[in-house]
Amino acid sequence: MAKRPRQQARTGAPKGPKGVAIYHDMKVYENFERCAQRIFECVRMAQQQSPGAPRTLFLDIQGHRNSVGGYDDALELMKEFGMGYLLQFLTELSTPLIRVRNNGRQRDDLPEELRIVYPDDGSEYGYDATRLGLRPRENFPADRRSKPTLKAITAYLGMDEPACLVCWRTPVERAHVVPEKLGGSLDVRNFALLCHAHHAEAPDVADAESFWAWVDYAELRDSPDKWRDAPEQLQEWLRERGVRVDPPQREEQSFFSAVKRELKSLYGWSDAEFGSVAWEDLMEEFHAVLDSATGRHFAVDKKVSTYAWAYDVARRRVAGEEGPGRGVAARLPTP
Ligand SMILES: [Zn+2]
């Protein structure tokens, strides 16, 4: 059960009793921002709990490949963020590409907060709400005519066995990241592995990063389920370490309150925002977004996740906001 921990700062002993080893697996559904924030938090925690102890960061990457087999934003994570910034606060950094030591120079003054700023160079990141166009993760999709096999997707994700990316259950289905009807490709990078229930719940939208952000959110939201069948002793051990083991009581709720909850927890809407939105303008825009940038799946008429995305994009359009949506880039769901 504990085979694939999301992240942990573990006080171990890679080099001497006082060393701290930090492991992070950049999941296929994490983007640069969310991953960098999480790693930063782990290093900050390690610095706080064991100041001065030599820190080693082990970083692994799931998926995140470009069309020629190199890394996508995972490369920036390893190079710019890992080597360029974080290494000064570490003793050693180990990634699939590089293993570097910072000989005896580890700094112990990591700031309280990591601020990620977007370059003002017109580089496109996140979904452009002003255009409602397709935003896939793969820019040069392979010219395939059939879905990649389960085996190919499993291999791409670096998993031993196919399992739902949200709840790890089986059997799994091959889920399009961007639906074919919206222009999504048959490239292996346009597929996720989800169980039937999570597949039916995932958004059918024109933006790949929003799909992955939803998987990330659902994984955090539903992860307590993973420990349900674990031995009581292990559950106790996890509880003591602050892992949420018991599933939250999710009361029955109406469709719109479910959408509202997702707007708050995934897209970062505040109560004040719900009050200040001009609903008439918003509804018009919302339907325009729904018609042109979302799809339907499983003959489900309305999906909470698709509606929440469309409301968020519509709100940004009405407000004339540019740049990536908060749900995709800046907002971090808290475990
Ligand atoms: Zn699942």
Residue-level pLDDT at 324: 63
**Cα–Cα dist 127/212, whole Å:** 12
Q: Helices 208-222 and 255-265 sit at what angle, rounded to 10 degrees? A: 100
CA of 200 to the centre of ligand 1 (A): 10
Residue-level pLDDT at 105: 86
CA of 217 to the centre of ligand 1 (A): 13
| CA-based nearest residue to 333, from 34, 107, 17 | 34
The string of DSSP letters for 280-293 reads HHHHHHHHHHHHHH
CB atoms within 10 A of CB 310: 24
Torsion angle of the four alpha carbons 222, 263, 31, 86, in this order, in degrees rounded to the nearest 10: -90
Residue-level pLDDT at 155: 97
**Cα–Cα dist 256/310, whole Å:** 13
Question: What DSSP element (H or E) covers 82?
Answer: none
CA of 116 to the centre of ligand 1 (A): 31
What burial class does residue 97 get, using C-beta atoms within 10 Å of its C-beta: 0-12 exposed, 13-18 middle, 19+ buried? middle
Reduced to 3 states, what is the DSSP secondary structure of residue 176?
Answer: strand
Amino acid residing at 120 = D
Distances in Å between the Cα of 134 and the Cα atoms of 11, 70, 124, 128, 184 are 44, 23, 13, 9, 8
Residue-level pLDDT at 76: 92
Place of tokens 């970083």: 59
- What is the pairing mode between strands 20-26 and 55-61? parallel
CA of 120 to the centre of ligand 1 (A): 38
Q: Where are the beta strands (DSSP E) in the chain?
A: 7-10, 20-26, 55-61, 92-94, 99-101, 173-176, 191-194
**Cα–Cα dist 168/150, whole Å:** 15
CA of 79 to the centre of ligand 1 (A): 33
**Cα–Cα dist 143/327, whole Å:** 31
Per-residue pLDDT of the chain (335 residues; tens, 9 = 90+): 334 445 444 544 444 447 999 999 999 999 998 999 999 999 999 999 999 999 999 999 999 998 888 998 899 999 999 999 999 999 999 999 999 999 878 999 999 999 887 766 555 567 888 888 898 888 777 777 899 999 999 999 999 999 999 988 999 999 999 999 998 999 999 999 999 999 999 999 999 999 999 999 999 888 766 677 778 888 887 777 666 677 666 666 799 999 999 999 899 999 888 888 888 999 999 999 999 999 876 666 789 999 999 999 999 999 887 766 655 444 443 33
CA of 1 to the centre of ligand 1 (A): 15
DSSP letter for 93, please: E
pLDDT tens-place string over residues 136-151: 888 777 777 899 999 9
Structure tokens at 16: 């001497």
CA of 227 to the centre of ligand 1 (A): 14
CB 178 within 8 A of CB 207: yes
CB 31 within 8 A of CB 126: no
CA of 326 to the centre of ligand 1 (A): 25
**Cα–Cα dist 109/252, whole Å:** 46
**Cα–Cα dist 245/225, whole Å:** 7
**Cα–Cα dist 279/275, whole Å:** 9
DSSP letter for 113, please: -
CA of 143 to the centre of ligand 1 (A): 29
Structure tokens at 77: 């994570």
The answer to pTM > 0.75 is yes
CA of 313 to the centre of ligand 1 (A): 26
Domain ranges of the chain: 18-130+326-335, 150-241+254-319
CA of 193 to the centre of ligand 1 (A): 9
CA of 197 to the centre of ligand 1 (A): 6
CA of 174 to the centre of ligand 1 (A): 12
**Cα–Cα dist 215/57, whole Å:** 25
**Cα–Cα dist 32/52, whole Å:** 28
